[in-house]
Amino acid sequence: MTQRPTAHEGADTVAEVLSALADPTRRRILDALADRGEATATALAAQLPVSRQAIVKHLGILDRAGLVAGHREGRESRYRVIPERLGVTARWMDRVAADWDSRLSAIKRLAEGE
């Protein structure tokens, strides 16, 4: 039986994802993985202007945020994007945007004397 996350757990997920995505290098890594399907840290380092060691550290942060998963293949780990937490974060952003739209509409109605 699958349990739905509580509001607090959802907030934790959003905070972890936003924190991980705050770094432009991590966003570029996610984009590269999304384009390739999966890749090793070595392949990502060849594509991006950072060292393999830096890529590994960024992948660790993305992994802890639940945005990527790695599996061993021979001597290297191959990483792929896990989209579920991005979906949770996108839904949260949609709710926030809808709340602001409602607030701005109410302000507009008040300002226009309706």
pLDDT in the model for residue 10: 66
Which of 20, 66, 27, 74 has its CA nearest to residue 48? 27
Q: What is the pLDDT of residues 66-83, one digit of tens each?
A: 999 999 988 989 999 998
The whole-model pTM stands at 0.74
Q: What is the pLDDT of residues 29-70, one digit of tens each?
A: 999 999 999 999 999 999 999 999 999 999 999 999 999 999
Strands 76-81 and 68-73: antiparallel
Phi, psi dihedral angles at 15 (to 5 degrees): -65, -45
